[in-house]
């Protein structure tokens, strides 16, 4: 299972690029805001460009939030069960309300 731990030094961080012949299945999301300077408003995002279809001949980039949580400064949250059945169709990204280099996010995932 691949995983990455990244400091939220910008408001949007890419954790896994789209794998075209698979979906990304997140297994664990850890938000370590122990040394954070403010509550971390975290969103797990799915970014992709849909295919041309009968109904949408010129599709545009879509960014869909698949999970949201807020972790108080001084706190740590480990999300496992709540990720059950969450699928990322395109690129897996994590956004934070206010960037904070002391807030660390770890995402573990598989491909399916």
Partner 1 sequence: MIQLLPMPEATVTPGVPKYLQEGYFVTFTDKWPDSLSWVKGKSFVIEKTNQVPYDLHYIIPSNDYRDVDISNSSDGEKIYPENTKTLYQIGVGFKPANLLCELFIPAGEYSQRLEYASMVPTLSSSTLKYLGAFKPEDTPYDDKRLFFYAVYKLEPLIMRLYVDTGIDYDKIIAGLLVNKCYMRQVVLTPEQARHSEVIRYYSELRW
Q: Where do contacts with partner 1 occur on this chain (CB under 8 A)?
A: 20-23, 48-56, 62, 64, 87, 89-90, 112
Distances (CA, A) of 27 to 14, 55, 79, 109, 111: 16, 33, 8, 5, 10
Nearer to partner 1, 71 or 92 (CB): 92
Query: Residue 60 CB, nearest distance to partner 1 (Å)?
Result: 12
Query: Residue 28 CB, nearest distance to partner 1 (Å)?
Result: 21
Largest CA distance in the chain: 50
Query: Residue 41 CB, nearest distance to partner 1 (Å)?
Result: 22
Nearer to partner 1, 1 or 55 (CB): 55
The whole-angstrom separation of Cα 25 and Cα 2 is 11
């Amino acid at each position: 299972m691949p995983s990455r731990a990244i400091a939220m030094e910008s408001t949007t961080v890419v954790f896994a690029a789209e794998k075209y012949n698979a979906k990304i299945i997140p297994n664990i999301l850890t938000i370590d805001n122990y040394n954070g300077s403010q509550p971390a408003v975290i969103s797990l995002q799915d970014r992709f460009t849909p295919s041309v279809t009968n109904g949408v001949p010129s599709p545009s980039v879509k960014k869909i939030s698949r999970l949201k949580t807020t972790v108080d400064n001084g706190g740590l949250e480990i999300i496992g069960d709540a990720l059950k059945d969450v699928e990322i169709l395109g690129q897996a990204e994590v956004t934070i309300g206010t960037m904070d280099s002391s807030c660390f996010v770890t995402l573990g995932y598989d491909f399916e």
